[in-house]
């Protein structure tokens, strides 16, 4: 089975957030789906790097895909918050727009955490739509990075620096 | 862990929003807890009525990214959770 298509998750989120009568459960799921679209995009890119896109139906692909969890992505994104991340092997030209991608990914994870687990928060349709648009923009930023920048980020995601 | 004052966070947030042409009425902060159970800071932009649609896409994302970046560069140790809330237009009687 191929990995989830991020755009399908974004379209699901669009539908949940679109209605004028969207309920809190709909809006929370929309924000969560926006994050998950970005998460699966990232896992697919990382696993394609190691295994290759032509191996997407293999057990080895699943093994690598499942090796990255949310907290690993969140931790790396947090490390890339500032302009000059410390103690990370980065390209000489920096991460460019991949750093923007990382900040949005980390942020959407936190927003999704509130949406999924914090009953004290209320969300609006506009906020959910903005989260979805942020996720789509983050992918655009990732794709706008150079191959070296993309691979640097994905390598840091897959392999912990010691 | 370094924490900036609310006033400094709001100043940085307003600067970022203004640079990105976001129409906001005010910015408020509140303490929060992040996914790891650590202290975080919630930063909410109260948008002027009807302005959410205008910031969909790059403007919203750019604002979030730059705000996270500038707070980190300023030494803020808490993760910022940025939220947008559009003000409801007051009805005419």
Q: Give A102-151 pLDDT, tens digit per residue.
A: 999 999 999 999 999 999 999 999 999 999 999 999 999 999 999 999 99
Q: Report ipTM (2 d.p.).
A: 0.95
Nearest to A124 among B34, B69, B86 (CB): B86
Nearest to A110 among B34, B57, B71 (CB): B34
Cβ-proximal residues to A47 (8 Å cutoff; 6+ apart), any chain:
A3, A56, A61, A64, A65
Q: Indicate which of B68, B75, B89 best probes the interface with A, i.e. most A CBs within 10 Å of its own CB.
A: B68
- CATH 3.30.300.20 assigned to B6-86: yes
| pLDDT number for residue A105 | 98
- The answer on pLDDT for B92 being more than 60 is no
- The answer on pLDDT for B37 being more than 70 is yes
- The answer on pLDDT for B7 being more than 90 is yes
- The answer on pLDDT for A158 being more than 60 is yes
| Chain B CB contacts of A110 below 8 Å | 34-35, 40, 79, 81
Distance (Å, rounded) from C-alpha B24 to C-alpha A15? 27
pLDDT in tens, A21-64: 899 999 999 999 999 999 999 999 999 999 999 999 999 999 99
- The answer on pLDDT for A1 being more than 80 is no
A88-120 burial by CB neighbour count: b if 16+ within 10 A, else e?
eebbeeebbbbbbbbbbbbbbbbbbbbbeeeee
The alpha-helical segments, DSSP class H, found in A2-146 are 6-18, 24-50, 59-65, 70-79, 97-117, 125-144
| pLDDT number for residue B91 | 59
- The answer on pLDDT for B10 being more than 80 is yes
Q: Which two tokens stand for residue B81?
A: 């959770």
Question: What predicted TM-score, i.e. pTM, was given to this entire model?
Answer: 0.95
pLDDT in tens, B49-67: 999 999 999 999 999 999 9
């Amino acid at each position: 089975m191929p990995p989830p298509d991020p755009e399908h998750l974004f379209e699901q989120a669009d539908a949940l957030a679109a209605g004028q009568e969207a309920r809190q459960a709909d809006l929370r799921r929309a924000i969560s789906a926006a994050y998950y679209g970005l998460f699966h995009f990232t896992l697919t890119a990382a696993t394609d790097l190691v295994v290759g896109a032509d191996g997407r139906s293999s057990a080895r692909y699943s093994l690598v895909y499942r090796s990255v969890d949310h907290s690993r992505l969140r931790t790396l994104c947090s490390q890339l918050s500032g302009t000059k991340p410390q103690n990370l092997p980065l390209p000489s030209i920096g991460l460019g727009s991949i750093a923007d991608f990382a900040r949005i990914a980390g942020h959407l994870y936190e927003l999704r955490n509130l949406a999924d687990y914090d009953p004290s928060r209320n969300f609006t349709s506009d906020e959910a739509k903005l989260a979805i648009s942020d996720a789509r923009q983050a992918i655009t930023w990732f794709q706008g990075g150079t191959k070296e920048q993309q691979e640097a980020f994905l390598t840091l995601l897959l392999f912990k620096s010691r | 862990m370094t924490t900036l004052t609310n006033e400094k966070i709001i100043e940085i947030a307003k600067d970022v929003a203004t640079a990105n042409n976001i129409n906001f009425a005010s910015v408020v902060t509140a303490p929060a807890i992040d996914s790891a159970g650590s202290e975080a800071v919630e930063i909410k932009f109260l948008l002027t009525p009807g302005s959410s649609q205008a910031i969909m896409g790059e403007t919203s994302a750019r604002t979030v990214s730059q705000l996270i970046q500038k707070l980190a560069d300023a030494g803020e140790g808490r993760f910022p959770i940025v939220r947008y809330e559009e003000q409801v237009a007051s009805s005419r009687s």
